[in-house]
Structure 1
Amino acid sequence: MNQKAKKVCVITGRSSGMGFSTAKRMGKKGYFLVLAAHTPSKLDKALTELTNCGIEAATCPCDISDWASVQNLAKFAASLGTVTTVLHIAGMSPHMGEAEKIMAGNAMGTIYMHEAFYPILGENGVLIDTSSISAYLTPQFIMPQKAFKLAQTDKDAFFKKMIARVNLMPKKSRAGVAYAISKYFVIQYVKMEAARFGEKGVRVLSITPGNFETPMGALEAEEASTYLKFNAIKRLGHPDEIAALYDAVSDPEMGYLTGTDIICDGGCIASGAGAFSR
């Protein structure tokens, strides 16, 4: 096969849980996979498992909070074939660092993914970001929505304003607030970017997972148990269930779906869960 004829699917995120389940599905559909994550050893393990399943894949260590690292990922993916699909699943939970690190990983990382892959993705391509139900569970009045437009014009000013809003909160809650704000931003950023990507015939949207049985989900088990009682489906989600959604939504036959967020949370938000639903 001509190298450029290969359809490349880039997947960011831990090489386990949602990311790995999604990789298996996309690989079985014939995509050449590029797995990107911060930890090379975990990438190697995932690559071995995928290869054993007969799936073509490569890995690229990437720090999504670093612009040069994301640029390198895009360049590497483009060298392997035609990049048609980018599934940006990577993210930082409130348990993985201080507020600035979380904001850099979730908000700036999303911006960098858009900027790096916008020139690469061609007609009928798709970029899917990942949010969190925290975006819906957090009071909207704390969201610095007027600052969001700076993401497209002045990234430094954008980041400063986002952190300034977080720093208005008590220190012990800042990591959680940074997470919620950054994930709310992801949803709004997709709406902001839809027209720009649409001019190229590329779709951009976001998926909001609820509580799933994943390594990251285990870090948030206590919080998850608080809201599980609101679910219409009284259990945690399985990784392959969210992987099936990434698979379906990224299919070119879904060509009219863009600029929106899709919630997959077992009915938690629909059942009335909110910031003060404890």
Structure 2
Amino acid sequence: MKKVCVITGGGSGMGLAVAKILGKDNYIIIVGRTVKKLENALKELEAEGIEAEAFACDISDRTSVDKLAAHAKEVGIISSVIHAAGMSPHMGEAKTIMEANALGTINMNEAFYEVMEEGACIIDVSSMSAYLTPKFIMPMKGYKYSRIDKELFMKKMMARVNLFPKKQRSGVAYSISKNFVIWYAKTDAAKFGQKGVRVLSITPGSFKTPMAELEKDDTDGFIEHCAIKRYGDVEEIANLLAFCASDKASYLTGTDILCDGGCVASGVNPLKMK
């Protein structure tokens, strides 16, 4: 049977870049809300001789994600899942961002846990915002409800977000949701390990992607604080994702890998930036 790699957010940026690497040894399923938006990505992959298909899925909807997981299992043996899809602060309202980033990660991990086999790996993509935002903002005591009562979990997350002025809520929702992604991947490791499956998160800093272009006014100021004073190229994060998903990293699980050019290490406080 085919080895299958599922990539959410595979239509552009780091998702498409990692598809070009993992596509050398895997059948690729790139995932987005609409197949039409993924057509150009498919053409790029096919031009490089990569077997791929597009699958329409709303990651914030569990039924939609279950269909994706079932389809991937029918196609072949799932070797890896790169969950790179997400929404940035400029892409929607706070609740929509929380549903896409936090609830979307819960849905992906839960659905694919059921269909992944020994030796497989799932990587959830976070953001350096999870580290830069002060910890007192994070409602970490409420994270546990993600496995108990998803409706209550969302209520607790949004209750914290709604403490902030309306114009700041999308940004706060983004930071909380990405902090949650790191926590969720780490605390899923033992469960996945029982099946011989690895789960971890990777946290990118500022990379040259379409999403970063939307946030450019907010992210440009971080570059001067980086040890490497430039935006990262998508190939740099794609190579990291591909390595972590491969058998070469078969002892790597339950952790987060920060790849941000040394921005977080600088100790920069975004609350004190202009």
TM-score of the aligned structures, taking structure 2 as reference length: 0.98
CA distance in 2, matches of 1:70, 1:226: 36
Consecutive unaligned residues of structure 1, counting only runs of 5 or more, are none
Partner of 1:88: 83
CA distance in 1, matches of 2:10, 2:30: 9
Count of matched residue positions in the alignment of Structure 1 and Structure 2: 273
Residue of structure 1 aligned with 2:17, choices 18, 21, 24: 21
Residue of structure 1 aligned with 2:160, choices 134, 158, 165: 165
Residue of structure 2 aligned with 1:213, choices 198, 205, 208: 208
Partner of 1:260: 255
1:277 shift after superposition: 4.5
CA contact (8 A) 1:136 1:274 kept: no
Identity, % of aligned pairs? 55
Which amino acid letter does the alignment assign opposite residue 190 of structure 2?
A
Structure 1 residue 11 corresponds to structure 2 residue 13: no
Which amino acid letter does the alignment assign opposite residue 126 of structure 1?
C
1:47 shift after superposition: 1.0
CA contact (8 A) 2:89 2:174 kept: yes
Provide runs of 4+ in structure 1 moved above 3 Å. none
Structure 1 residue 105 corresponds to structure 2 residue 95: no
Partner of 2:224: 229
CA distance in 2, matches of 1:158, 1:171: 21
* SS in structure 1 of the partner of residue 240 of structure 2: helix
CA distance in 2, matches of 1:246, 1:211: 16
CA RMSD in angstroms comes to: 0.9
* SS in structure 2 of the partner of residue 11 of structure 1: strand
1:58 shift after superposition: 1.2
CA contact (8 A) 1:7 1:82 kept: yes
Mapping of residues 37-186 of structure 1, within 5 Å: 37-186=32-181
TM-score of the aligned structures, taking structure 1 as reference length: 0.96
Consecutive unaligned residues of structure 2, counting only runs of 5 or more, are none
1:274 shift after superposition: 2.7
CA distance in 2, matches of 1:105, 1:18: 18
1:45 shift after superposition: 1.3
* SS in structure 1 of the partner of residue 86 of structure 2: coil
Structure 1 residue 248 corresponds to structure 2 residue 229: no
1:213 shift after superposition: 0.7
